[in-house]
């Protein structure tokens, strides 16, 4: 079952702007991962947080940053938006870093 919620569901931003996406993990889950999914592609790993610390990062530039809060909710921040940042951003939570990950419904970001 999934109790991961993401907000907002849709967002339109202008190139060069900054955006913050939010994720509430399933109750009790202390690990949150963020993925970017371009149209027609599989999700690509951005980074993971475990107990408020970054626990791994994929091949994304530093303008992609994140936070995890004491209640294990999380934010993804993207600065200096580019057109290619348009995608579905997915948050996944798991009980620990070693159990199955459950995904939220995603945030559809469009950069114009």
Partner 1 sequence: EDQVTQSPEALRLQEGESSSLNCSYTVSGLRGLFWYRQDPGKGPEFLFTLYSAGEEKEKERLKATLTKKESFLHITAPKPEDSATYLCAVEIVGSARQLTFGSGTQLTVLP
Among 24, 43, 78, 81, binds partner 1 (CB under 8 A): 43
Among 4, 19, 76, 87, binds partner 1 (CB under 8 A): 4
Are 5 and 23 in contact by the 8 Å Cβ rule? The answer is: yes
Please give the Cα distance from 52 to 5 (Å, whole number): 18
Please give the Cα distance from 89 to 45 (Å, whole number): 10
Q: Return the residue matching tokens 């070693």.
A: 98
Contact between 66 and partner 1 per CB under 8 A: no
The two tokens of residue 30 are 């202390």
Contact between 53 and partner 1 per CB under 8 A: no
82 φ, ψ (degrees, to nearest 5): -115, 160
Among 78, 90, 109, 111, binds partner 1 (CB under 8 A): 90
Contact between 60 and partner 1 per CB under 8 A: no
**Chain residues that interact with partner 1, rule: CB under 8 A:** 2, 4, 6, 31, 33, 35, 40-45, 48, 50, 55-56, 58, 88, 90, 92, 94, 97-106, 108
């Amino acid at each position: 079952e999934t109790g991961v919620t993401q907000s907002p569901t849709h967002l339109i931003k202008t190139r060069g702007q900054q955006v913050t996406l939010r994720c509430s993990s399933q109750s009790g889950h202390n690990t949150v991962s963020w993925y970017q999914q371009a149209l027609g592609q599989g999700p690509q790993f951005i980074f993971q947080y475990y107990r408020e610390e970054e626990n791994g990062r994929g091949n994304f530039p530093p303008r992609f940053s994140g936070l995890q809060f004491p209640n294990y909710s999380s934010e993804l921040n993207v600065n200096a938006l580019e057109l290619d940042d348009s995608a579905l951003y997915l948050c996944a939570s798991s009980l620990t870093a070693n159990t199955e990950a459950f995904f939220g419904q995603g945030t559809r970001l469009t950069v114009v």
